[in-house]
Amino acid sequence: MKHKIALVGFGTVGQGLCEILDKKREYLLSRYSYDFDIVAVSDVRFGTSYHIEGLHIPTLLKDAHNGSFTQHLQTWDAEAMIREAEASVVCELAFTDLQTGQPAISHCIAAMETGKHVVTSNKGPAALAYAEMKALADKKNVQFLIEGTVMSGTPVLNLAQSTLAGATISAAKGILNGTTNYILSQMEEGMSYADALAMAQDLGYAEADPAGDVEGYDARAKVTILANVVMGMNLKLSDVKCKGITEITTKDIQEAKSSGARWKLIGTVKNENGHISAEVSPEMVPMTHPLAGIMGATNALTFSTDLMGDITIVGAGAGKIETGFSILTDLLTL
């Protein structure tokens, strides 16, 4: 059977996924019997392309580089494409809006209502409407898969839900935002907060408006997803207390260093005998803790379990190929 994939959004992640799929087509077929066509792509910038027998991936990538699609053009917007295209799965890879979750929530609903699985790295639907998305997926007998929403392709959700199945997870605690960890690492080298932020922006880690990262909102969305998906809670973003790194000074960082600790922006969710707490906040982590050694843009997460004690996973939290990989893993799960 050939999987028919439709993509909404053809930016960093969409293109990363297509590069992987094009390069690994033979491997995916021989190793996993996974055969596919990219049948549709819709992006506000490049237009919409659709062909039931599949689009030519190198042409899509070349067209994106040149600024607009050229093959099998359609007048559909993303939602019309989702409803009309004959596809088995929609990959929602458009921008994240943590206020409303839109238009991604509407995209996911349209896909599932028309019997298509959803795979997404977009935090909006997962952080704001996970229960609703999951209920619709169950009702329509499709899947809503979101590995890329927390730590990109580093498999934290799959680890918790599949590999650790049977163990009770009582806490998840981690460095969930690479930009802030990079800034704090640079400040430890003596750079001011403003210079470290400017450098993170130059390297493409931080947006022109860095509030989502430095105020902790991105990490808060990930804590909410971990709480709801991994620990079976029903938290809203506003249930997670949130403080960013904007008040941390180089003096604070040096003082922590001399006392054998490091400041990290930590996201935590805990269930202590039914008492639930969830927050994002800068913490002085002792150098002996596994999270203290995580420097630069790397992410890490520790799950506390009843049967295995603490398990820490370290890896990329963003990136074109890394997040493209998260989508691939969900496609293979389907």
Ligand X SMILES: NC(=O)c1ccc[n+]([C@@H]2O[C@H](COP(=O)([O-])OP(=O)(O)OC[C@H]3O[C@@H](n4cnc5c(N)ncnc54)[C@H](OP(=O)(O)O)[C@@H]3O)[C@@H](O)[C@H]2O)c1
Binding residues for ligand X, rule: CB under 6 A, are 8-14, 42-45, 78, 93-96, 103, 121-123, 148, 152, 318-319, 323
SS3 state of residue 299: strand
Query: Measured from the CB of residue 129, what is the shortest distance to ligand X in angstroms?
Result: 14
Q: Of the two residues 82 and 285, which places its CB atom closer to ligand X in the complex?
A: 82
Query: Measured from the CB of residue 229, what is the shortest distance to ligand X in angstroms?
Result: 15
Radius of gyration of the chain (CA): 20
Query: Measured from the CB of residue 230, what is the shortest distance to ligand X in angstroms?
Result: 17
Show the CA angle centred on residue 301, arms to residues 119 and 237, nearest 5°: 60
Cα dihedral sign for 52, 16, 226, 277? negative
Distance of alpha carbon 35 from its chain centroid, rounded? 25
DSSP string, 171-200: EEEEE--HHHHHHHHHHHTT--HHHHHHHH
Query: Measured from the CB of residue 103, what is the shortest distance to ligand X in angstroms?
Result: 5
Q: Of the two residues 79 and 239, which places its CB atom closer to ligand X in the complex?
A: 79
SS3 state of residue 101: coil
List the catalytic residue out of 4, 123, 173, 222. 222
Q: Is 222 a catalytic residue?
A: yes
Q: Of the two residues 32 and 95, which places its CB atom closer to ligand X in the complex?
A: 95
The CB density around residue 323, as the number of other CB atoms within 10 Å, is 25
CA atoms of 185 and 263, how far apart (whole Å)? 9
Q: Of the two residues 43 and 283, which places its CB atom closer to ligand X in the complex?
A: 43
Question: Residue number with the shortest CB distance to ligand X?
Answer: 11
Angle between the N-to-C axes of helices 57-66 and 12-23, in degrees from 0 to 180, rounded to the nearest 10: 150
Q: Of the two residues 112 and 292, which places its CB atom closer to ligand X in the complex?
A: 112
CA atoms of 242 and 185, how far apart (whole Å)? 21
Q: Active-site positions? A: 222
